[in-house]
Chains A and B, each alone.
Chain A
Amino acid sequence: MRPLLLAGLRNLFRHPGRVLQVAFAVALGIALFVSSYMSISGVERSIQRAARAVAGNADWVVTGSAAGGLPDSLVDRLRQVPGLVAAPFVKASATVLGPRPTKLQIWGIDTRSDAMLKLFGGQHTPDPETAARMVLVPNSVIVSSTFAKDRGLKRGSILPIASSSGAINLTVAGVIDDSGITQSLGAELGLVDVQLAEQMFGQPGRIDSIQVSGISLDRLKTVATGYEVRSLDELSPAARDALLRVQSLYGLSLVAMLIGCFVVFSSVQVTILERMKVIATLRAIGASRVQLLSAILLEWVLVGFIGSLAGVLFGALLSSAVLRGVTGSVNSMLPVVSVAHAEMTWPTFLLGLAIGMGTVLAAAAIPSFAAVGESPLLALRPHTYRLRHQQLTAFWVGVCLVAVGLGLSITGSYARTLISITLTFLGLALLMPQVMVVSAHRVRGTMSKLFGYPGFLAADNLQKAPQRTAFNVIALGGALAILVSTSALVDGFTVSTHRWIRASLPFDISVTASGFGNSTYSEETLPRTLLQTVSRVPGVSFVYGVRKSFAPFEGHDVMVIGLQTVPYLEAHRRHGTLNWAHLIADPDNRRELLAGHGIFASENFLALTGKQVGKYLDLRTPNGVWHVKLLGPIEDYSWPRGLLVTDLDVMNHLWRGNALTYVDAQVAELSQLSTVKGRISEATRAEYAVALTDREQIIGVADTVLRQSTSAADAQVWLASIIGFLGIGNSLIIGVLQRRREIGLLRAIGMSNGQLQRTVALEALLIGIGAGLLGAAGGLVGGWMPLRHFTFAVTGYLFPCVVPWAEMAKVVVGAVVVATLAAVIPMRRAAEVPVLTSIAAE
């Protein structure tokens, strides 16, 4: 269909603005997708790289759990297999004491065998002489070169380190080249003997993992029964959990693409309307529908290609910003991953192009099919406007789709949430035109009372072009709905966590080895003696200790907390929140808890695992399987995979060692919080590097983590809003172009330019109000149904529904402002319509 294709391309050149708009809408959608994809896979690769940095050439890794660890003896058992190389490994973060305390990542490696050397294969491997010195000199450490240079460390220098068994002086045995490794770890590195590491971090006889090569996976699984065995390139359960969180970004990209679809759809529709005559004439002289269809679609695929290409490139630029948010969110759950940059790969590039062009094709197909399906006679008639009284069938189909979409979202699996979003959007697209017809008709009278004839005309125009209007209301409304629904969720989370933190934490100051907010997964511990040190500080009225660890359960790591039960309850009594801990305080429960027969579980643990109170569960601990009864639920938001609470002594027995994670202190009534804080750090300075956090700071940390988790989404929401903004501008310009004749005529019979421009502006205002209301209402529903259930499915937290009034008001006002701004160019265009030519003959 050369003539139409030529005419089409020429037409595209004549309307560069429209082409740009379509290309831009596609580009933004694709940019969102590509940036999400690149940053998520970038983080994934970084996690793998970090694993490689630790394990070198190993094939497999054997783990117990995140912190439960493995017994030393397993290494010996594995080494009995001929040809197998097994390297035990302990990893923890420690603080270098001194005037300038810094973090150092400590790796405990086996310096007594050649296993590590075999696996590392040359890369950052200590030379044999240094390795020998490691064995001979007690408490020796090999440090990375940057760190050594920074601190002026040489062979034989002394390095004081805070460990969970108190301060310890390490002797530098050598320096290794750290090129590459510190970068993939995001930390400076110290290598010590594995047994020293066990001792330093309060886990005698226990290692974190064993790197293995020289055996098949199946074989290894039979040798290491009872432990987790996976390929080194496979993500750990914790990493998978952390990544799952940020995958919600794909949902956002989907919404953006759907919004883009609407923009493309309406642009294509206009160009087709404009060329209805050409199409009908070609049909009349014998062109087939297929010929015409392929000509039109080809034209738009070309535009789609340009848009997608731009989108992929823009996405690559955007990815570094998104990456920062994603890394922040992942790091709140994982030991720190440092992500250098997100990489663009060919598959990503091609996938982006394919999705963009596919979207344009899908959106262009609908109006194109409709156009070529039309009888040529109908299209040759002079009037382009055909009265459609009602669109009731479409309306009811739309209602059904929305209902099905929302219904699907109740179960909340990831795929279902995406399908639910798509169905809801399609449903809205179908039902909205009818809503537009009815509501625009309703407001005509009011608009004409308020704004005179321009008000009437504005409402009337919307009523008469319901589809175009509806699509743009959905486009902007959809983008705004994301804002409202995330903020409904965030508000729900904030309200719950703030209340929870105030009620459940019966202390004023928490003492930890590393900053409270660094990482929930942090495994740094404190020596038990710190309990006395802190309790002796003037102004401290009461202290108790807590130990935190993780246990593998049904493929995920759950958090385990051991409380000094009796002091903990006493702290609640003094704090006036014993009521909150009444289940733990119950004499029967407390007896079971102290005896190690019972355990408390967080509500989200129960929701995620489906376990019930009163039933038993089998928990793998370093000391074997623990068959324990679920005593009751507690409200808790510490860990998205759930929390189990036991007594500290029970935990120390099962998890071995007696280090603490938190030393919680209450401040005497008349003492100043900040003064007491200062005294505590003074008292502990010599021996430990501690971080002090008060309750309000913990609230701040929780909010920061939350903000980090949603910050990647924020940029995307703004882009989606830009697409919506474009859509409105597009719609208004189309409205002006389509009505050139009428505008010319209104001018001819005496309407002033001011009145004309007011009409366009009022149209925009109505679209803006519609979009704002849809965004507010849709966001509320969206936050309540898909998002809340999705979050519940992933984390087990079912937050109370909080209506984000402020955000909703902002969204409505924002939509009105955006729409009014979008009207500026169309208003100018309307005023430029030449009266004489537009009223002349057809």
Chain B
Amino acid sequence: MPHILEFENVSRSYQEGASQIHALRDVSMAFSPGELVAVVGPSGSGKSTLLHLAGALDTPTSGAVRINGQRTDQLNEEGRARLRLKTIGFVFQFFNLIPTLSALENVAAPALISGLRTSIAYHEAASLLERVGLGARASHLPEQLSGGEQQRVALARALSLGAPLLLADEPTGNLDSETGHQILRLIGEFREGRTIVIVTHDAKAEAVADRVIRIKDGRVD
């Protein structure tokens, strides 16, 4: 079976004035379909950088990142956007919902961007909201929802086009531990047929993960 996501000697560095910051150094690894992987490491170790590369939001300074066999650096901006739309779902630490759109409209966004008929997009968004337990809050704006609820909306949105690769960057980092656990459990419920990569400090996540990747100073331990 081909790897859904593959890092091959990936390095990513940032030029900060005269000095170079090596956020990621020579990382090689692969992720198989159906895997749930936890990425852990101290703050500033390069976890977000790794996830951004994995999600085609960024391209490596050297080496190659392949998603379904496609090198991300060989696509142009629009190609990567299409890849993100169809293949990848993101969940962020700060939820990043669109404040002016309701919960339902937020969830329906990817489907609508992809050009799906409005009625179908809303229908599917509604059922996803139902599955994350927010069926009753569909018309609420983000500011009217609690942090945990907002993160569940964000999860529903990440799943909306049935993306096979779900990337979550500290999804519980901004929540209390009880709510955080609920979110982790919820993410776990969607592991069927998906590769899930969660960046986390939460020991609970390590426990449910198939594999744990430890990063320190941009290197995989």
B96 and A750 form a contact (CB under 8 A): no
**A384-B99, A750-B86 known; A835 vs B113 contact (CB < 8 Å):** no
Chain B residues lying within 8 Å of A456, measured Cβ to Cβ, are 112, 118
Chain B residues lying within 8 Å of A453, measured Cβ to Cβ, are 109, 112-113, 115
Q: How far is the CB of A827 from chain B (nearest CB, A)?
A: 15
B143 and A387 form a contact (CB under 8 A): yes
Binds B, one of A99-107, A289-297, A585-593, A739-747: A739-747
A750 and B84 form a contact (CB under 8 A): yes
Asked if A14 is an interface residue, CB under 8 A from chain B, the answer is no
A841 and B85 form a contact (CB under 8 A): no
Asked if A145 is an interface residue, CB under 8 A from chain B, the answer is no
CA distance in complex: A841, B173 (Å): 11
CA distance in complex: A747, B88 (Å): 12
CA distance in complex: A749, B113 (Å): 9
**A452-B115, A836-B58 known; A748 vs B82 contact (CB < 8 Å):** no
B110 and A386 form a contact (CB under 8 A): no
Chain A residues lying within 8 Å of B105, measured Cβ to Cβ, are 460
B113 and A385 form a contact (CB under 8 A): no
Chain A residues lying within 8 Å of B114, measured Cβ to Cβ, are 750
Of B83, B90, B157, chain A has the most CB atoms within 10 Å of the CB of B90
Asked if A18 is an interface residue, CB under 8 A from chain B, the answer is no
A448 and B57 form a contact (CB under 8 A): no
Q: How far is the CB of B219 from chain A (nearest CB, A)?
A: 22
Asked if A468 is an interface residue, CB under 8 A from chain B, the answer is no
CA distance in complex: A753, B82 (Å): 11
Chain B residues lying within 8 Å of A754, measured Cβ to Cβ, are 78
**A383-B99, A453-B115 known; A749 vs B110 contact (CB < 8 Å):** yes
Q: How far is the CB of B25 from chain A (nearest CB, A)?
A: 19
B98 and A742 form a contact (CB under 8 A): yes
Chain B residues lying within 8 Å of A748, measured Cβ to Cβ, are 55, 57, 84, 90, 96
Q: How far is the CB of B135 from chain A (nearest CB, A)?
A: 21
A746 and B113 form a contact (CB under 8 A): yes
Asked if B191 is an interface residue, CB under 8 A from chain A, the answer is no
Classify the secondary structure of B's interface with A. Answer: helix
Name the residue on B nearest A755 (C-beta): B113
A835 and B118 form a contact (CB under 8 A): no
CA distance in complex: A748, B93 (Å): 14
B100 and A751 form a contact (CB under 8 A): no
A746 and B98 form a contact (CB under 8 A): yes
Asked if A464 is an interface residue, CB under 8 A from chain B, the answer is yes
Chain B residues lying within 8 Å of A753, measured Cβ to Cβ, are 77-78, 81
Chain B residues lying within 8 Å of A383, measured Cβ to Cβ, are 99, 142-143
A751 and B57 form a contact (CB under 8 A): no
B109 and A746 form a contact (CB under 8 A): yes
| Chain B interface category by residue count | 35 or more
Instruction: Mark A434-457 against chain B: 1 for CB-CB distance below 8 A, else 0.
Output: 000000000001001100110010
Instruction: Mark B24-61 against chain A: 1 for CB-CB distance below 8 A, else 0.
Output: 00000000000000000000000000001001011000
Asked if B7 is an interface residue, CB under 8 A from chain A, the answer is no
Chain B residues lying within 8 Å of A839, measured Cβ to Cβ, are 92, 96
Chain A residues lying within 8 Å of B101, measured Cβ to Cβ, are 460
Name the residue on B nearest A449 (C-beta): B118
CA distance in complex: A711, B141 (Å): 52
Asked if A359 is an interface residue, CB under 8 A from chain B, the answer is no
Asked if A752 is an interface residue, CB under 8 A from chain B, the answer is yes
| Chain A interface category by residue count | 20 to 34
Chain B residues lying within 8 Å of A747, measured Cβ to Cβ, are 81
Chain B residues lying within 8 Å of A386, measured Cβ to Cβ, are 143
**A448-B118, A748-B90, A753-B81 known; A742 vs B109 contact (CB < 8 Å):** no
Q: How far is the CB of A477 from chain B (nearest CB, A)?
A: 24
**A464-B100, A836-B52 known; A749 vs B143 contact (CB < 8 Å):** no
CA distance in complex: A386, B78 (Å): 33
Name the residue on A nearest B98 (C-beta): A742
Q: How far is the CB of A35 from chain B (nearest CB, A)?
A: 42
Docked complex: B156-212 residues within 8 A CB-CB of A = 157-158
Q: How far is the CB of B104 from chain A (nearest CB, A)?
A: 13
Q: How far is the CB of A214 from chain B (nearest CB, A)?
A: 80
Chain B residues lying within 8 Å of A129, measured Cβ to Cβ, are none
For B113, give its contact among A445, A741, A751 (CB under 8 Å). Answer: A751
Of B58, B90, B96, chain A has the most CB atoms within 10 Å of the CB of B96
For A749, give its contact among B115, B141, B157 (CB under 8 Å). Answer: B157
CA distance in complex: A516, B64 (Å): 86
Q: How far is the CB of A116 from chain B (nearest CB, A)?
A: 80
Instruction: Mark B89-127 against chain A: 1 for CB-CB distance below 8 A, else 0.
Output: 110111010111100010001101111001000000000
Asked if A721 is an interface residue, CB under 8 A from chain B, the answer is no
A752 and B109 form a contact (CB under 8 A): no
Name the residue on B nearest A385 (C-beta): B99
Asked if A461 is an interface residue, CB under 8 A from chain B, the answer is yes
**A452-B115, A836-B58, A839-B92 known; A752 vs B78 contact (CB < 8 Å):** yes
Asked if A554 is an interface residue, CB under 8 A from chain B, the answer is no
B78 and A842 form a contact (CB under 8 A): no
Chain A residues lying within 8 Å of B90, measured Cβ to Cβ, are 748-749
Chain A residues lying within 8 Å of B92, measured Cβ to Cβ, are 839
Q: How far is the CB of B142 from chain A (nearest CB, A)?
A: 7
CA distance in complex: A794, B56 (Å): 70
Chain A residues lying within 8 Å of B144, measured Cβ to Cβ, are 387
CA distance in complex: A383, B112 (Å): 25
Chain A residues lying within 8 Å of B77, measured Cβ to Cβ, are 753
Chain B residues lying within 8 Å of A746, measured Cβ to Cβ, are 98, 109, 113
Chain A residues lying within 8 Å of B141, measured Cβ to Cβ, are 385, 387
A461 and B100 form a contact (CB under 8 A): yes
B143 and A750 form a contact (CB under 8 A): no
Chain A residues lying within 8 Å of B94, measured Cβ to Cβ, are 841-842
Name the residue on B nearest A453 (C-beta): B112
For A751, give its contact among B55, B81, B83, B93 (CB under 8 Å). Answer: B81
Chain B residues lying within 8 Å of A835, measured Cβ to Cβ, are 57
CA distance in complex: A747, B96 (Å): 12
Docked complex: A342-358 residues within 8 A CB-CB of B = none
CA distance in complex: A750, B77 (Å): 10
CA distance in complex: A460, B101 (Å): 8
Chain A residues lying within 8 Å of B85, measured Cβ to Cβ, are 749-751
A745 and B143 form a contact (CB under 8 A): no
CA distance in complex: A384, B78 (Å): 30
Docked complex: A785-841 residues within 8 A CB-CB of B = 835-836, 839, 841
Q: How far is the CB of B50 from chain A (nearest CB, A)?
A: 13
CA distance in complex: A751, B80 (Å): 10
Chain B residues lying within 8 Å of A842, measured Cβ to Cβ, are 94
Q: How far is the CB of A837 from chain B (nearest CB, A)?
A: 11
Task: Report A's interface with B, CB cutoff 8 A.
Answer: 383-387, 445, 448-449, 452-453, 456, 460-461, 464, 741-742, 745-755, 835-836, 839, 841-842
Given contacts A453-B113, A750-B82, A753-B78, 17 further A-B contacts (CB under 8 A): A383-B143, A385-B100, A445-B118, A452-B112, A453-B112, A456-B112, A460-B100, A741-B96, A742-B100, A749-B109, A749-B113, A751-B85, A751-B113, A752-B81, A754-B78, A836-B57, A836-B58
Interface pairs A-B: 9 shortest CB-CB: A750-B85, A464-B100, A453-B112, A385-B99, A750-B84, A383-B143, A752-B81, A742-B98, A751-B113
15 CB-based A-B contacts, threshold 8 Å: A383-B99, A385-B99, A387-B141, A445-B118, A448-B112, A453-B109, A741-B96, A749-B90, A749-B158, A750-B88, A750-B113, A751-B81, A752-B78, A836-B52, A841-B93
